Amino acid sequence: MWAYFSRRLFIAIPTLWVVITAAFFLMRLAPGGPFDQEAPLPPEIMANLKAAYGLDQPLWWQYVNYLGNLLQGDFGPSFKYKDFSVTELIGQGFPISIQNGAAALFLALLVGIPLGAMAALKQNSGADHAAMTVAMTGIVIPNFVVGPLLALIFGIWLRETIFALPVAGWNNGALPNRILPVICLALPFIAYIARITRASLIETLRTNYVRTARAKGLPFRIVVLRHAFKSAMIPVVTYLGPATVFLLTGSMVIETIFGLPGIGRYFVQGALNRDYTLVMGVTILAASLVILLNLFVDLAYAWLDPKVRYE
């Protein structure tokens, strides 16, 4: 197990380097620059700005300098947020995204897994069809539709009732300000988890070892909980790797709709403003989380399925 863990960490280094390299050069290929404005700056000011941020150097030298700073833990200064480094901006936005993402992930697991298990155990029944209809609705309706709809319902239609909720702003993490973003963020993941759980559990209940356990006279509840459920969770855990990264790094749409200062919103603003260092910082953070969480997913396979072993 430890040898496998060490090998995966060793492989992660060149993988992350490829991501950094691709993002660095693709950002420079995009039209426009961080100091472009509607009214062009005088050439002297533009030259001074490029010199101050090292953008007057050859591209390959900028790349080498960036890698050198990155090895020291320095993501560089933001080109648009004056007097702020990228590390400071990520430090401000990431905790907000983590809080909302963790709450949405917990809600998705709390609702999605039981919903999918119920549908699987009552296959082709009315409850199964109802659960999958709800799940499919959560998948096909995008967040940029659900978000404004929830804001309209709870912010305007119910504003004179006890169910009224804030529709924008963070307010230092007050609970009412979190409810709508968390629900909106969790809905599609509830749907996906429910559908994956249903399909996997139905397939697992048809395997030979489950049929053998039932033939030996074990109660159906014990067969499901002790034998089928853990194996059925493998596809769910596989899906949770990239899904958790998406939730923890913040949804760009959700944070924009509800006015949350998370890193998803910073990423959008950085891309629009050609803030190279800010976009690079968020990209590197997301790529690192993807690599790390996928490793944890692979290690979880051995716990969920006794047949899986890492020699």
Q: Is the domain 94-262+294-304 a CATH 3.10.20.30 member?
A: no
Predicted structure pTM score? 0.84
For residue 116, the model assigns a pLDDT of: 93
β-partners of residue 77 are: 85
Number of H helices, E strands in the chain: 13, 0
For residue 259, the model assigns a pLDDT of: 87
For residue 10, the model assigns a pLDDT of: 82
For residue 202, the model assigns a pLDDT of: 93
- Can you give the C-alpha Rg of the chain in angstroms? 24
For residue 39, the model assigns a pLDDT of: 65
Name the phi and psi angles at 125, rounded to 5: -95, 175
Q: Which of 16, 3, 53, 13 is nearest to 33 (CA)?
A: 53
d(CA 98, CA 41): 39
The DSSP string of the chain is -HHHHHHHHHHHHHHHHHHHHHHHHHHHHSSS-TT--SSPPPHHHHHHHHHHTTTTS-HHHHHHHHHHHHHTT---B-SSSTT-BHHHHHHHHHHHHHHHHHHHHHHHHHHHHHHHHHHHHTTTSHHHHHHHHHHHHHHHS-HHHHHHHHHHIIIIITTTSTT----S--GGG-HHHHHHHHHHHHHHHHHHHHHHHHHHHHHHHTSHHHHHHHHTT--HHHIIIIIIHHHHHHHHHHHHHHHHHHHHT--HHHHHHTT--SHHHHHHHHHHTT-HHHHHHHHHHHHHHHHHHHHHHHHHHHHH-TT----
For residue 301, the model assigns a pLDDT of: 74
Structure tokens at 205: 């209940």
pLDDT in tens, the chain (311 residues): 667 777 877 888 899 999 999 999 988 887 877 877 766 778 888 888 888 888 888 999 999 999 999 999 889 999 888 888 999 999 998 999 999 999 999 999 999 999 999 999 998 899 899 988 888 888 888 888 899 999 999 988 988 888 899 988 888 888 899 999 999 999 999 999 999 999 999 999 888 888 888 888 888 888 888 888 888 888 998 898 888 888 877 677 888 889 888 888 888 888 888 888 999 999 999 889 888 888 888 777 767 766 666 55
Residue range 184-201, pLDDT digits in tens: 999 999 999 999 999 999
DSSP alpha helices (H): ranges in 175-275?
175-205, 208-215, 220-222, 229-248, 252-257, 263-272
Residue range 58-76, pLDDT digits in tens: 999 999 999 999 999 889 9
